[in-house]
Amino acid sequence: MNWRNMRARSASPRPDIAVRATGAAMAIGGASILLGLKPKYGAAAIIGVLASASPWMHAFWADEDPQARQADMIHFGKNLALLGGALALAGIEEPWPASLGRKKSMVERAKKTAWKVLAA
- pLDDT tens, position by position, 20-45: 999 999 999 999 998 888 899 999 99
- pLDDT tens, position by position, 51-76: 988 888 888 888 889 998 899 899 99
pTM of the full predicted structure? 0.70
- pLDDT tens, position by position, 2-19: 445 555 555 667 888 888
Terminus-to-terminus CA distance in the chain, angstroms? Answer: 67
CB distance 95 to 89 below 8 Å: no
- Apex 40 CA angle, 38 and 42, nearest 5: 75
